[in-house]
Structure 1
Amino acid sequence: MPLWQWLLDGVAVLVALVVLYGLALVVRRRAVSRHGATFELSVRLREDRPGRGWVLGLGRYQGDTLEWFRIFSVSPRPKRLWRRSELEYVGRRVPTGPECATLYADHLVVQCRTPDGPVELALAPSSLMGLQAWIEAAPPGTAEHI
């Protein structure tokens, strides 16, 4: 078989893999959304350089937990979980420097405290209102309300 046919076959396989990956992302997004409404939620995973370390993702409230899924992963499981009783809202700010290019245009950076240390999230103002309401809506009798 001539070299050009090998190259053409290689390109066809590569295109097929990209299409399959895209379909897997769509199916995963629908499966994640089926078990509760999702919203755009970015998380800062690394803090070694100012303004860097952000990863785009999806957030979903599942009972008393906030689940975070990476946007370009095909895994059906959340990458991070935060329990309502352990997540404390500290404040918010607008993205600065390189964050403006990394995050979605209208998102705000939210600082939270957890038992594992500080967490920075980026989400839309409407989603921030939902997050604050979710944190404050803990059932009566939990540690925050005693």
Structure 2
Amino acid sequence: MPLWWWMVDALAFVVAAVVLLVIWLLFRRRLLARSGGTFDMSVNRSASVPAKGWMLGLAVYRDTELEWFRTFSVSMRPRYRFTRGDVRIDGRRDPVGSEVHAVQAGHLIVSTENASGVRQLAMSPHALTGLLSWLESSPPGQRVNKVL
């Protein structure tokens, strides 16, 4: 078999793998969003202002947790879990400098303290309102750590 046939086969394999990966990412997002209560949210483990460290993702509300999944991941497990009583929101601001290009257009950035080590969240104003409502609506007897 000539060498160029091997190259064509290898190229076909790579194209098929990329197509399957894109199909899996789309299917995964639809599967995660099926349960409802999902929104786009970016996270950053750094508390500093520069754009370094932002990761795009999808947040899903559960009963007592907010689960965060990376957008470009094949895993069905959440990367971070934010427990309702352990999340503290410290303030909100608009993206500045190169952060404007690191987060989605129209998103606000909120500072947070939580057990997962994430220090900043970026989400739309409507999603922020929903998150604050979810944090405040904890069952009686649980503490609420929201400060804004």
- What SS class does the counterpart of residue 110 from structure 1 fall into? strand
Structure 1: tracts of 5 or more residues without a match: none
Tell me: CA distance 1:140–1:47, structure 2 relative to 1, closer, same or farther (3 Å): closer
Tell me what 1:3 maps to.
Answer: 3
Shift of 1:116: 5.7
Moved over 6 A (4+): none
Q: Please state whether the residue corresponding to 2:28 is helix, strand or coil.
A: helix
Residue by residue, what CA displacement relative to the aligned partner does 1:32-59 show, whole Å, maximum 9, x if unpaired?
Answer: 1123331101000345883210000000
Q: String of CA shifts for 1:118-142, please: whole Å, max 9, x gaps.
A: 6200001110110111111111121
Structure 2 unaligned regions, length at least 5:
none
Match of 1:65 in 2: 65
TM-score between both structures, scaled by the size of structure 1: 0.90
Q: Distance in 2 between matches of 1:2 and 1:68?
A: 49
Asked if the contact 2:84–2:138 (Cα under 8 Å) also holds between the matched residues in 1, the reply is yes
The 5 A counterparts of 1:90-101 are 90-101=90-101
* Higher percent of residues as strand: 1
1:1-146 equivalent positions in 2, closer than 5 A: 1-46=1-46, 50-115=50-115, 119-144=119-144
Q: C-alpha root-mean-square deviation of aligned residues, in Å? A: 1.9
Question: How far 1:69 moved relative to its partner?
Answer: 0.1
**How many pairs are equivalent?**
145
Question: Which structure would you say has the larger RCO, counting Cα contacts within 8 Å and 6 or more residues apart?
Answer: 2
Structure-2-length-normalised TM-score:
0.89
- Secondary structure of the residue that 1:27 maps to in structure 2? helix
Local SS of the residue matching 1:97 = coil
In structure 2, give the amino acid aligned to 1:63.
Answer: D
SS class of match (1:55): coil
Distance 1:47 1:129 in 2: 22
